[in-house]
Structure formats: C-alpha cells, structure tokens
Amino acid sequence: MKSLLHPARAVALVFLAAILVGSALLMLPISHAEGSATPWVTAFFTAVSAVCVTGLVVVDTGTYWSTFGQSVILLLFQLGGFGMMTVATLLGLMVNSSFRLRTKMIAQFESRSLRLGDIASVAKLVLVVTFALELIIALSLTLRLHLAYDLPWAEAAWSGLFHAVSAFNNAGFSIHPDSLMRYATDAFILLPVMTAIVIGGIGFPVLHDLRSRFNDPRHWSLHTKLTLIGTTILLLGGFFTLLVFEWSNSATLGPMPFADKALSAAFASVSARTAGFNSIDIGALTQESWAIHYFLMFVGGGSAGTAGGVKVGTAAILAILIIAEIRGHSDSEAFGRRVGASAQRQAITVLMLGSTMIVLGTLFILRETDFPTDQVIFEVISAFGTVGLSTGITGNLPEASQLMLTLLMYVGRVGTITLAASLALGEHRMPYRYPEEHPIVG
C-alpha cells in the first residue's frame, strides 16, 4: 500500500479513475443524442480526450452527444484541466482546512517550483482565476453569439459556456463540426478565446508568482522567467511563420484581407501549442505550416497548468543546456541562476521519452493504416501534446489506432516523468557510487 501513496502514482490513478467513470457515463443511452447506447471505444476515446484536455474526437460533439453527454464531456475536461495538483489541493481545502501530508505532497509534486506553504494560496488562486475567467469569457461569447448571430439566449449561453470552459482548460472541444472556422474573421469571438487559452496554459505557478511579485520582475522565479520568455518566443515565432507560409494559400489565409490574416495566424499560433481549436482548415495547410505545428504541439505550454506537451520550461532548460555546451561552460546558467542537475536530467528524460512515444505511435498507426505519413505524424503529436488539432483522419482510423491515440493522450497529459515514476517500485537512493568515466560523445 505504501507505493500507492507515491504522488506520481496518485496522479496517474486519479486520471485513470476519471477516465473510467467518464466512459461509463458516456456509454449510457441518455448521453447519446438518439437515445441509444454508445460503443465502448467511442465513449472511452472521448473520455480520454476530455480528461486529458485534448479535443481529438471520433464523432461530432455537437450532433452525436445529447445535452447530458456534452455536459459530461464539459465536466471531464474541467476536471482534467485543473490537473492533479489543483484537484488535490481543492479537495484538501473543501474536506479539511489543514492539509494532510499526502495531499500536500501530491500538490507539490505537480507544481515543483512551489513550497508546501504556497499550496493553499495557489489553490485559492486557481479557484478564483478559473471560474472568474470562464464566467467572463462565457458572458462575452454569449452576448456576441446572441447579438451578432441571432442565436436564442439559451443556445448562445450554452455555446458560450462550453467554449469558454474548453478554451481555459485548453481542451479544444467544440460543439460546432467546423470548430471555430465559422468565426474566422470575428475578433470578438477569437480574441476572448485566445485570452483564455494563454492564461490557462501559462501555468498556475507562474500566475501565483506574477500575482505576488508583478512589479518586481527581478525577483520572479527562474521558472516564471523561462516560461514567459519561451511562451513569447513561441507565440511570435508561430504567428510570423504561419503568416508567411499561409499568406498565398487560397484554402486558408489567401482570400482574407490583412487584418483577418493576422487574426487567423495569431489564433493558429496560440491554439497550436495545446488548445486545439481551429479557425482555418488544418488539412489544407502547407507542408511548412504542418512542420511548424509539429514543433508547437510538441513543446506545448507551461507546467502545472492546463497545457500539454513536454512544456515550455523543459524546452527552455534544454536550450540553456545546449548553449552552455556550445560555449564550453561547465554550468547551465540563466538570469543569474544555475539550473540544477536534476532539472537537466528530467528535461532530457522528458524529451527522450516523449520522442520515443511519438515514434512508436507513428510506426504502429502506419502499420495499421494507409494514411500518408505526414498526416499520421500530425495526429500522433497532436495526441501526445494533448492539442486536439486534426487533419481529419482520426474518426476514420481503425479501433486499434484510436486506442493507440488514447494511450498517447494519457501519457502526454499525465506527463512522461510522472507516468514513469508511477510505474516504478519507488524511489531508491543508492548506498554506493561507481567511479566516474567519460565515454566518447559524437
């Protein structure tokens, strides 16, 4: 029983339990729009995608599922978006004002940059930011949908709420079959959604740091600085490259005026990093834009937030490590701080395990299907990065390939290091150390 209390194992088990409960609910006839039972693979895939805040679907969310089924999906990606860190913390606050040690350990494991004393403060921040922002975005979308698109108040309110919660949790689920393509030129729809995506995906430790030290950037944690700089670079880089590669593409940005091109390129850059909404046809993108999406989806967003991918912090640590090696420095340093050896090892481990999962997933699906390699790679990275963007082949994949995508979504959401640690027997400190030797590299 002791091993089950390990924080990593608890994270993995809680996510798995949520998936199983969600699958059972979605299999009920009341969840189906036509009142019939849902096949278990469809229910399981949808539950995994929702809990892992991915957004990949094998059936149309708006027409296949009833209002009850859509509500279950919304609840699943709301819980999944919190992450185990926030769920455990909020449960601890509701059940007992004083945390038990295990709850504190679980929360700290998911937000390693925080001290145990910060957990209650972060939990309150999560609660306030989540529901306040979701409410504001939902009201904004509801008003726009009713006033500009003549949707009845009830329909506009449900659509606004569903998309607001989906956006903040970086889930990418939409009750429209074309995602947000019908609003491709509507800044009053896309800008609020983009705002929710960025804030939800930046990570709660960063929000906590900014709240307490907003006017004193010098004292921001190294994690906050790396996340903010990395996020800015990725957003701007994605925006300009997608704008260039899609500028003349008649199937995407080509026919649009400059302002709409800029809006759609910005939305694509924001969404590609983990949210999964699309305002342009992903299947019609150029090969260069697909390559940009590969990178953005793989990196993802901030740690301990609603984003997926290997995380911006991981990519930043690897970049610092590479720069230090090129310069011949023995230490990896940034902003007057030295990056710890354990953080460097974890970053390399996440990169290698993530890359391995993507390669294995791609090979498996290629063996099962005849779809082009580039499309399969896109779906696999989208699943692992819990993004949800698709070239349109997910629903046409055989069941074995769809189950492979569910595995990738689970690993991508729980985290490669978390999953690996949860499967291990426990942490061991070796009572001895072997002599050091330097094998030849390169």
And the tokens for 77? 């990606």
Residue 121 confidence (pLDDT)? 65
C-alpha dist (Å) from residue 13 to 7, 19, 136, 213: 10, 10, 33, 35
Question: pLDDT digits over 33-73, tens only?
Answer: 999 999 999 999 999 999 999 999 999 999 999 999 999 99
pLDDT higher than 70, residue 76: yes
Q: What is the pTM of this model?
A: 0.90
pLDDT higher than 80, residue 407: yes
Residue 188 confidence (pLDDT)? 97
pLDDT higher than 80, residue 93: no
pLDDT higher than 50, residue 183: yes
Residue 341 confidence (pLDDT)? 83
Which band of pLDDT confidence, cut at 50, 70 and 90, is reported for residue 92? very low
By mean pLDDT, which of 7-21, 91-105, 211-225, 392-406 is the weakest?
Answer: 91-105
Residue 7 confidence (pLDDT)? 59
Mean pLDDT of the chain: 87
Over residues 2-28, mean pLDDT: 81
C-alpha dist (Å) from residue 420 to 12, 67, 398, 400: 10, 37, 28, 23
By mean pLDDT, which of 135-144, 167-176, 407-416, 420-429 is the weakest?
Answer: 420-429
pLDDT higher than 80, residue 198: yes
Over residues 106-120, mean pLDDT: 53
pLDDT higher than 60, residue 83: yes
Over residues 356-362, mean pLDDT: 97
Nearest 5°: phi and psi at 38? -95, 135
Domain boundaries, the chain: 2-423
pLDDT higher than 50, residue 4: no
Residue 3 confidence (pLDDT)? 47
Q: Which residue has the higher pLDDT, 254 or 91?
A: 254
Residue 319 confidence (pLDDT)? 95
pLDDT higher than 70, residue 105: no
Question: pLDDT digits over 266-303, tens only?
Answer: 999 999 988 999 999 999 999 999 999 999 999 999 88
Residue 6 confidence (pLDDT)? 59
Residue 5 confidence (pLDDT)? 52
By mean pLDDT, which of 2-11, 354-363, 371-380 is the weakest?
Answer: 2-11
Let me know: does 54 contact 383? Beta carbons within 8 Å. Answer: yes
Residue 419 confidence (pLDDT)? 60
pLDDT higher than 80, residue 349: yes
pLDDT higher than 70, residue 133: yes
Over residues 232-260, mean pLDDT: 97
Question: pLDDT digits over 325-337, tens only?
Answer: 999 888 888 888 8
Residue 47 confidence (pLDDT)? 98
Percent of the chain past pLDDT 90, that is, above it, reads 64
Residue 422 confidence (pLDDT)? 52
Question: pLDDT digits over 203-243, tens only?
Answer: 878 888 888 888 888 889 898 999 999 999 999 999 999 99
